[in-house]
Amino acid sequence: MVSVIIPIYNTEPYLEECIRSVCGQTYRDLEIILINDGSTDGCGEICRRWERLDPRIRYIEKENEGQGAARNLGIRMASGDYLVFVDSDDYISRNLVEQVHQYIVKQEAEICVYAHYGIGDRLYETPLDYKISRGCNIKENKELFGNMTPVLCNKMFSSQLIKNAGITMSNRMCEDLVFNAQLYARAKKICMLDIPLYYYRYRREGNMTTDYGRYMEVEQSIDELNRIFKRAGIFEENWVSLYEISFAMFKEILFRIKKREDFNVPREIKNQYPIFLNSFRKCLKKWFFSFVETDMQEKNYLLVGSYNLRSLVHALLLDEDFLREDYGACSIISLMSEKSEDALPLEKWKYKNAYRKRCVEQDVRKAFCRKKEAKGIDYIVVDLMDEVLDLVEIRDGSYITESEFLKEAGGEDLEGYNRIPFLCEKRRVLFRQYVAQFCQKLKELEIPVIVVKEYLCEKHSMYYDMASFYDEIEEIREQNRELEWCYGQLCMHLPDAVEVDASGFEELQFTYEGFPFGCRPVYYNPVYYQRMAVRMGERNHRKKVYARHGATGESRPGQPDSDGIFKKSEVNDSCHITGNY
């Protein structure tokens, strides 16, 4: 039997559709628990009528305590082998329980995650951002925990898992995030079904998502989550995932406040955006200062390299306005060579967007090479992925990069100009020459440099636990060997740069088939960018720790030992909340 738990509070316009969708399930062995949490509208009458119509319904009326308390009561009442949670303003597909129950039993899993439809101005399908092809647990798959979806309504749970855990939900916002995380940590197997079966009404006035005055409660929930893991003695081994969960939740709230026009966030909340941003940063610093350089959240960045760098730094920042400048779709050779604009018809070329136009024009006009200073920039981040692109030789000493942006703008018709491919001796000679000039330029700017060692992807996949090699694998590997040589040249000239790579999570080095710009070896996947952003903060922190304490051979709390592994350190357990609502 499957128990369906529906907490109800003042959702009269939607409740009929919700209950009907549950009672009409193709899977009939249901226990339907309706918890009326002190509704003041007509919800009680609707529930009593359905209770008379369907003997599987158990209806309870109680004083208003909040959604968490209502769900806790539903869990205590439930007698099914599996539990499903449905919010009373949402509804579910007719075969949700049947499909998910069949799959979770087949997988012998304790949690099954499924996709959903969002209901706003329109109905849209929301596939799982992170998905695996076969069940596993967080010890077998390190990325599973950090990419946990925080809500309850897109999961079926083993009731034994929940009851053995002995945990309850609070009534604050994001109470389901804390609940889910504890269950993920205990589950022997979690599986995923990337089929949209739940209909989520995310913009209804009065639900938790639009209860803007309670947004600061998110920080309290994050504090609770990290404190639970700290007291259990498993914080250090799970710090990366806990950081990713905390960061993602804070960024989502900030994005809603600042950017999501469809949420209609009140002006008084928008005006307090700096308070939210500052408070969330302090929370991250309080819990994770021993592992990552959290101050990088409030630094300004200049990027030189591929589009991957934008995705990576976006994943690093809570507020993406700190990405101040970038020079993309451009080889270092082209970047540092002589101007080409007098020979090229820039004014006649067409572009898909302002970013692509800016990249091409910066390349042609050699904007970085002519840069005299970089005021307000705290870090320069570099990768060499765009070195694999062909160079177009405009004249001796003047080159441009034959990027996709250049081609779509009209540059593919540059007849009569010599092309210089990546894999040839002339490119090596040019790279040696211009990388030295580039590094000298960086030294003159006197800004710390981070080198991100990224390579062409050898694999592609739609799942995070399996991938297939590209057909042109040998060609990709040959280019990657040349890229490795290029990084060696770059780092030789920048001995003080922080070097960042994917060592330890190489399984994430694949192209995601759902990437909007296509499945190509030059792109990675969202989880890779997220993990590399953490690595950037980790490596920068490590360098600063060593710089402060010197090579004494002593490992202090919060700094790496000789093997690069952080020792346990105490974290202040007190909540840090700012802002009054």
Grouping H, G, I as helix, E, B as strand and the rest as coil, residue 427 is helix
Identify the CA nearest to 115 among candidates 509, 437, 514. Answer: 514
Name the band, by pLDDT with cuts 50, 70 and 90, for residue 210: low
**CA distance linking residue 482 with residue 9, whole number of Å:** 62
**CA distance linking residue 3 with residue 57, whole number of Å:** 10
List phi, psi (to 5°) of 59.
Answer: -115, 130
Instruction: Pick the more confident residue, 258 or 79.
Output: 79
**Would you state the pLDDT for residue 370?**
85
Q: Is the Cβ–Cβ distance between 302 and 326 less than 8 Å?
A: yes
Grouping H, G, I as helix, E, B as strand and the rest as coil, residue 128 is coil
For the residues 253-257, what does the mean pLDDT come to?
A: 91
For the residues 40-60, what does the mean pLDDT come to?
A: 97
**Would you state the pLDDT for residue 546?**
82
Residues in Cβ contact with 112 at an 8 Å cutoff, skipping those fewer than 6 apart: 100, 103, 104, 155, 156, 190, 191, 192, 193
Q: Which secondary-structure segment (H or E) carries 485? A: helix 473-493
Report pTM. Answer: 0.89
**CA distance linking residue 186 with residue 401, whole number of Å:** 51
List phi, psi (to 5°) of 195.
Answer: -125, 125
Query: Is the model's pLDDT at 366 over the cut of 60?
Result: yes
Domain residue ranges in the chain? 2-206, 211-288, 295-532
Query: Is the model's pLDDT at 482 over the cut of 80?
Result: yes
Strand partners, 191: 112
Residue recorded with tokens 């101005």: 121
Q: Which secondary-structure segment (H or E) carries 492? A: helix 473-493
Grouping H, G, I as helix, E, B as strand and the rest as coil, residue 396 is coil
Q: Which two tokens stand for residue 205?
A: 């006035």
Which of 327-341, 370-384, 403-417, 470-484 shows the lowest per-residue confidence on average (mean pLDDT)? 403-417
Residue 470 CB coordination number (10 Å): 20
Residue 362 CB coordination number (10 Å): 19
Q: Which amino acid is at 524?
A: Y
Strand partners, 183: none
- DSSP labels for 210-234? G-GGGTTHHHHHHHHHHHHHHHTT-
Residues in Cβ contact with 571 at an 8 Å cutoff, skipping those fewer than 6 apart: 226, 230, 235, 286, 287, 290
Query: Is the model's pLDDT at 579 over the cut of 80?
Result: no
Identify the CA nearest to 10 among candidates 50, 43, 51, 34. Answer: 43
**pLDDT tens, position by position, 127-158:** 999 999 999 999 999 899 999 999 999 999 99
**CA distance linking residue 104 with residue 113, whole number of Å:** 9
For the residues 282-292, what does the mean pLDDT come to?
A: 96
**CA distance linking residue 186 with residue 202, whole number of Å:** 29
For the residues 450-454, what does the mean pLDDT come to?
A: 98
Instruction: Pick the more confident residue, 85 or 320.
Output: 85
**Would you state the pLDDT for residue 564?**
32
**CA distance linking residue 70 with residue 317, whole number of Å:** 36
309 burial via Cβ count (<10 Å: 0-12, 13-18, 19+): buried
Q: Is the Cβ–Cβ distance between 505 and 499 less than 8 Å?
A: no
**Would you state the pLDDT for residue 58?**
98
Q: Is the Cβ–Cβ distance between 450 and 500 less than 8 Å?
A: yes
Q: What is the CA radius of gyration of the chain?
A: 27
> What CATH number is given for 2-206 in this structure?
3.90.550.10
**Would you state the pLDDT for residue 262?**
66
For the residues 55-66, what does the mean pLDDT come to?
A: 96
**CA distance linking residue 51 with residue 29, whole number of Å:** 16
Q: Which amino acid is at 175?
A: E
Query: Is the model's pLDDT at 204 over the cut of 90?
Result: no
Residue 38 CB coordination number (10 Å): 16
**pLDDT tens, position by position, 519-535:** 899 999 999 999 999 99
Burial string for 485-524 (b: 16+ CB within 10 Å, else e) reads ebbebbeeebeebbebbbeebebbbbbbeeeeeebebbbb
For the residues 525-547, what does the mean pLDDT come to?
A: 93
Query: Is the model's pLDDT at 480 over the cut of 50?
Result: yes
Mean pLDDT of the chain: 90
For the residues 554-570, what does the mean pLDDT come to?
A: 35
Residues in Cβ contact with 327 at an 8 Å cutoff, skipping those fewer than 6 apart: 302, 303, 304, 305, 335, 359, 362, 363, 367, 368
**Would you state the pLDDT for residue 95?**
98
Query: Is the model's pLDDT at 77 over the cut of 80?
Result: yes
**Would you state the pLDDT for residue 205?**
56
Class of the domain covering 295-532: alpha beta
For the residues 473-496, what does the mean pLDDT come to?
A: 98
**pLDDT tens, position by position, 100-119:** 999 999 999 999 999 999 98
List phi, psi (to 5°) of 77.
Answer: -80, -25
Query: Is the model's pLDDT at 485 over the cut of 80?
Result: yes
Packing angle, helices 526-549 and 307-316, rounded to 10: 70
Query: Is the model's pLDDT at 553 over the cut of 70?
Result: no
Q: Which secondary-structure segment (H or E) carries 160? A: helix 159-165
Whole-Å CA distances, 246 to 75, 210, 512? 26, 20, 24
Residue 297 CB coordination number (10 Å): 20
Same fold, 2-206 and 295-532: no
